[in-house]
Chains A and B, each alone.
Chain A
């Protein structure tokens, strides 16, 4: 019987720990103030002006809903109609990102009464699991408007939504609406297999669907289509269950790293969309120059394929080669299974390629596929010997997300050697030595690498983490995924920035380069076209709501760029410039309170 069933039987299945707490809202005095200044003259699609009060109300509502940002927030207030002030007990790049980039809001004209109730409850000290807050959330659920009032240049309304396609209507007073030449945005429903025919027949201008290498070849043959190859900042790595021998030996892991040909594996798994990892720093190569100084970078071992070095490392820990087979120090053949999620086709292909390379070297490995639904349990319970899972989870703008994912609990309990009961996950020791010989706790170091607004101090800690990672290889990164986003440059849209432009260094899912070009008016309709912009995504086809805040909100099933056409962010993050650039907001300032 699995853990979930057991949990359900005992009534213990709730949200993962740390997601929300009944007493949500930070306690203690505020230590930081972040002020954000909105641009003027932006109007909601119902004609009311966008003001700081809309955001204050939105934050009150997500307090009631239990959003984690309120673990650091003590208050959000409108200093004037254009200025929002966030008061925080703590500060970090990820907190800043949530404030200026991630959290959009619904209009005061639609949610004003509910915002007011939420604020009153919060200021009265109500707990988020109190009866009053539950009543408020039930009232929120019951509110079913027939349009999602938006401050972006387009909005969503009933009558324009169909299971096969929907249309975003122009909000003439919305953000940058006067600069954008498209009268409407058509969004076709579809995942890859439904999108490909539309794309090949010229009906889509941009798609974020995950195309297979075969699809990519078909797209490349179409003269109207081009492919944007930008970083996704994710990619697979080979994990080892360090509860088992010999996976607990770093020499063994280093030897495996020398055996794997990352270039070949990337090519086999993802074609030109897979870029082999160079630095082996534990996070995206693209972030390395910004976070690691030259001395640290030069000191990293790139683990270029080298069977001789691998053999030397293995021999050093008592392993021997008998005939074509490596045996361990007890005389048993080195034999293990690599588990890989079958739904992530490139991960499975990478596992198969790595398995073949290891077998050619003299190990005996096999590949076992699991469904993606089994990943969380497999990771949490360490139900693997070796595992092909994520080695890069780089949410802009900080590399700590990757470290946190596999070095500590991550999303699903990846590594918890200090657990007093139950699984220890991967069981890689959290106490490690730095290059200088100091003892550090990895969990604390990751937290410190994120703390405060002192970037130089953060970089020092990231450098230490990179050096430890590079020596220890708790996981072996293989390649980084790049997009194969097709754009149609001939049918309706022109003005695409050349692919050498720095905007394409942004992450597709986070600060989408097409969304940025669209919203700042760079993209224009081709003369004589129907002035529509057409894209596709798998939105919720039925049983949705136009309520911005509820779980069945149609808007919330959109990804970028469609989501941002209605709800652009306050600011975008530019990977190339490593800073936030204005959008709905002009600027932000961070002040440490004395």
Chain B
């Protein structure tokens, strides 16, 4: 007959078990961290390489496009070529391989090069960085709002399926989701600012009023908040539908799961079942999508920035593509990739935290 350990021995065993478990957790954590870092590095290299090749394979070269713009303004070929020559000082030197090696050497030093067309000879990194705060703030806030409201509405629709509430929510957001975002933005400006005159046009142009000084002062914060209302609402509205419908669909599947029946049999309130059981499980697949979308916020929203005249990263990228400014295109893609990779890593961590099954699965393996 096996003798059971006494209390002291039990305590020692527990402690050594816990130590081993902690050691195992640290190893798992280290292994995961190393794996994530390796994956991120490889992905960054891969994306940067593909971008480097693809932007150069796009039809049209920057000099021709610059001349094309000048020609459209009524300049003669001689004048256009002269001006292009004078202002661009554009000359790609070295072989493709040499350029590639040089590019990566510079990237490792944090140097993304200088703009060739949009602002000739201006360093790319400061150009992107100066536009990031507005882009992250504007798109990030709207995205977070649309996610929070969207999952809530989706959950309500799922738990009240086939009622008027479900029909109202799902049909309304399906309809709004099908309206092109740019149309809604343009209509907002025309209707609110020109036809109904309920919002001054100045509040739908730019991130703040021309007469306030950007900085940590009340006038600027107030102006920025007022200027954000319409573009923020448009972005939130146009991105809300996707979250509503996805959450509704996920929650509909969870509603009939066993653990929901068990919870109901245990007499838990409907609110608790909806939020803690159905909601928590239904939201899991959306977390990754939300995190990746957050990562993409650094590349901005061309829609908001273009229609509402807010010079952010999205507009910079659109202009760089249109004018073939290779260094800016490469810089924005690289920074966006980095942000998305970070966001994905955060999503992985959140997923592990939200869903214990994944954590246990890792430990078991």
Contact = CB atoms under 8 A, between A and B. Distances in A.
Given A11-B92, A15-B91, A395-B74, A373 B309 contact: no
A94 interface: yes
Contact of A66 (B79, B86, B201, B207): B86
A375 B324 CA distance: 14
A73 B147 CA distance: 65
B92 A375 contact: no
A401 B76 contact: yes
A5 interface: yes
Contacts of A62: 86
Contact of B65 (A193, A376, A404): A376
B61 A376 contact: yes
Contact of A377 (B60, B93, B193, B201): B60
B317 to A, nearest CB: 14
A279 to B, nearest CB: 21
Interface in A286-306: none
Contacts of B171: none
For the complex of A and B, the 6 pairs showing the least CB-CB separation, nearest first, are A551-B120, A509-B74, A373-B60, A164-B206, A551-B87, A9-B96
A15 B60 contact: no
A540 interface: yes
Nearest to A166: B210
Nearest to A375: B68
Contacts of B190: 196-197, 200
Interface stretch (A325-333, A405-413, A489-497): A405-413
Contacts of A580: none
B268 to A, nearest CB: 53
B194 interface: yes
Contacts of B74: 232-234, 395, 507-510
B60 A16 contact: no
Given A201-B194, A559-B73, A164 B59 contact: no
B248 interface: no
Contacts of B80: 411
A203 B194 CA distance: 11
Given A13-B92, A556-B87, A373 B65 contact: yes
B58 interface: yes
Contacts of B174: none
B84 to A, nearest CB: 6
B30 interface: no
B88 interface: yes
A127 to B, nearest CB: 15
Contact of B87 (A4, A162, A550): A550
B243 to A, nearest CB: 28
A193 B310 contact: no
A137 interface: yes
A4 B60 contact: yes
B119 to A, nearest CB: 4
Interface string B201-216: 1001111001000000
Contacts, number: 203
A542 B127 contact: yes
Interface residues of B, number: 69
B81 A68 contact: yes
Contacts of B324: 373
Given A15-B84, A65-B85, A377-B59, 12 more contacts: A11-B93, A11-B98, A14-B92, A15-B81, A15-B90, A189-B309, A197-B204, A377-B64, A411-B64, A510-B74, A542-B130, A559-B73
B60 A543 contact: no
Interface in B163-201: 186, 189-190, 193-194, 197, 201
B78 A94 contact: yes
B207 to A, nearest CB: 8
Contact of B201 (A137, A203, A401, A559): A203
A263 interface: no
Interface centre among B63, B99, B127 (most CB of A within 10 A): B63
A19 B310 CA distance: 36
14 contacts: A2-B59, A5-B53, A13-B92, A15-B84, A68-B82, A162-B206, A163-B310, A165-B205, A165-B210, A371-B59, A404-B77, A542-B131, A550-B120, A552-B121
B309 A164 contact: yes
B82 A19 contact: yes
A429 interface: no
Contacts of A556: 87
A149 to B, nearest CB: 19
Interface in B67-120: 67-68, 71-96, 98-99, 115, 118-120
B144 to A, nearest CB: 25
B59 A16 contact: no
Interface in A509-562: 509-510, 540-544, 550-553, 556, 559
B305 to A, nearest CB: 10
Contacts of A544: 119
Nearest to A188: B205
A19 B118 CA distance: 20
B1 interface: no
